[in-house]
A = this chain, B = another copy of it.
Amino acid sequence: MSAGDPEGARDRTLAQIDANLEPSLARLFDLLRIPSISTQPDHAGDCRRAAGWLSDLLGGMGFDASVRETPGHPIVVAHDRSARHGPHVLFYGHYDVQPIDPLSLWDTAPFEPVVRNGAIIARGASDDKGQVMTFLEACRALREAEGELPVLVSIILEGEEESGGENLLPFLKANADELRADVALICDTGMVGHEIPAITTMLRGLVGEEIVISAADRDLHSGIFGNAARNPIHVLADIIAGLRDEAGRVTLPGFYDGVTDVPEAVRAAWNRIGLTDEAALGPVGLSIPAGERGYSALEQTWARPSCEVNGISGGYQEPGFKTVLPAKASAKISFRLVAGQEPERIRAAFRDYVRSRIPGDCAVEFRPHGGSPACAVPFDGAPLAATLRALGEEWGRPAVTIGSGGSIPVVGELQQALGMNALLVGFARDDDRIHSPNEKYDVDSFHRGIRSWARILHALAAI
């Protein structure tokens, strides 16, 4: 609990943030100028430079900051112990960025940030340097205006998020005592539309599985053998068609065991967002929700488990026609999971189902491609409520908890290594073009993002 007049202190900080937007932007631009592309070996030095720059910045702000080695790109760790009370938060972000190709599609140089039409344009502007700096600039303003942070803050910034690096989890495990906190804060997600602040509390899990079905021991002429000899493409089509019923539900026995609907209040909040099925699907040229009947497109992707075929292959695929009966056919199939579903149980149910559909003289090979459970922050926790409230105050409209169909590995890794829940709060917008040419982050996202964090840390201090 902050001493004295916490609201007055907070308002001084917000004023400080407003007054210092220009130097805040200048610092972000310095970071954006470092081409820290983690997946390209010739940028390894730039990754190290970005880590050093951040460590120096944090050290200058009063953090106990250091650049820590890993087998890959280094990790920045920093602690601020100025708070005399309050919970301990661990902030996570990443300083590495995606490659820039195709360079010809950029309107400006990717590592020479500019502001155009109210947007900061540069590789990493949104993902994730701009978002990281919202938190760091909030900490700076809090220290400058109030002399201390409202809560104990630790920060971890990694450099391999965009390159599938596997060094974070071992690092978290090896430094668990140092890094464990009451709650993790992650700034690598977005808002709903341009104005609705959001906390991503549900991340779907994934089970990936490839199946290769073999029939005859060679490709056959479909004129000579067609009808009599088994066609593995037909076997595969039957398997895929049988995976979902008329109502769009996955048919695997036990698939929905442990799956619960979101609370009615959350569903009502989602309905209030006004993201209709048409609004969700229209931008990609569709209009009819394809999935589970009885759920909106939003609910289908955020909160319902599903099954999709991500690739299928068999027989003759070149231009023209060849009357072949292939020896093999294959498909890559993924299941998105929600809380309550255990990946390996789903995988086993899928394999049982497939085996039950394989004719006696055919064979199936299973190739696993990853499995991770869903992550969910309990809807009833105090940090969540406090953060929602703080966001709502900044943006002038109620913040919502949302789901995400995609995966953010660090959330599960924090759970696994440190036993911590994470609140995913981000200010990216749908049109930020992350991973694409002309990536941008609105100055408004940056400015109000900083303000949001100041409010959030105060709110967390009060719980």
Interface residues of A (CB under 8 A from B): 204, 206, 208, 210, 215-218, 220-231, 233-234, 236-238, 240-242, 244, 248, 277, 280-281, 284-292, 297-298, 300-301, 304, 306, 308-317, 320-326, 329, 331-332, 334, 336, 359-362, 369-370, 404-407
Contacts and interface: CB of A to CB of B under 8 A. Distances in A.
B322 A316 contact: no
A209 to B, nearest CB: 9
A224 B215 CA distance: 35
Copies of this chain, tallied across the complex? 2
A193 to B, nearest CB: 15
A218 B281 CA distance: 12
B300 A323 contact: no
Nearest to A407: B223
Nearest to A242: B241
A237 B310 CA distance: 13
B284 A227 contact: no
Nearest to A314: B312
Contact of A336 (B226, B286, B317): B226
A314 B217 CA distance: 24
B290 A230 contact: yes
Contact of A287 (B218, B248, B361, B405): B361
Given A222-B308, A234-B244, A405-B223, A228 B291 contact: yes
Nearest to A216: B284
A290 B405 contact: no
Contact of A323 (B310, B314, B326): B310
A227 B292 contact: yes
A321 to B, nearest CB: 4
Given A234-B290, A236-B312, 17 more contacts: A218-B285, A221-B405, A223-B407, A226-B308, A227-B301, A228-B289, A228-B297, A229-B286, A230-B286, A233-B240, A234-B308, A236-B237, A237-B241, A237-B309, A286-B362, A312-B317, A317-B332
User: Most chain-B CB neighbours within 10 Å: which of A281, A284, A359, A406?
Assistant: A284
A405 B224 contact: yes
Given A231-B290, A285-B217, A311 B301 contact: no
Contacts of A361: 281, 285-288
A311 B304 contact: no
A334 to B, nearest CB: 6
A231 B234 CA distance: 18
A312 B310 contact: no
Q: Is the interface of A mostly helix, strand, loop or mixed?
A: mixed
Contacts of A288: 230, 359-361
A323 B334 contact: yes
Contacts of A304: 227
Contacts of A216: 284-286
A233 B312 contact: yes
A312 to B, nearest CB: 5
A317 B328 CA distance: 13
A216 to B, nearest CB: 4
Contacts of A286: 215-216, 229-230, 361-362
Contact of A206 (B223, B359, B360): B223
26 contacts: A204-B223, A206-B223, A215-B285, A218-B284, A222-B336, A226-B334, A227-B304, A228-B277, A228-B289, A229-B284, A230-B288, A233-B309, A233-B331, A234-B244, A237-B237, A237-B241, A238-B241, A241-B241, A241-B242, A288-B359, A309-B314, A310-B324, A310-B326, A311-B314, A312-B315, A321-B369
Contacts of A210: 321
A281 B324 CA distance: 16
A228 B311 contact: no
Contacts of A291: 226-228
Contacts of A280: 228
A227 B315 contact: no
A153 to B, nearest CB: 31
A316 B280 CA distance: 24
User: Most chain-B CB neighbours within 10 Å: which of A225, A336, A404?
Assistant: A225
A359 to B, nearest CB: 6
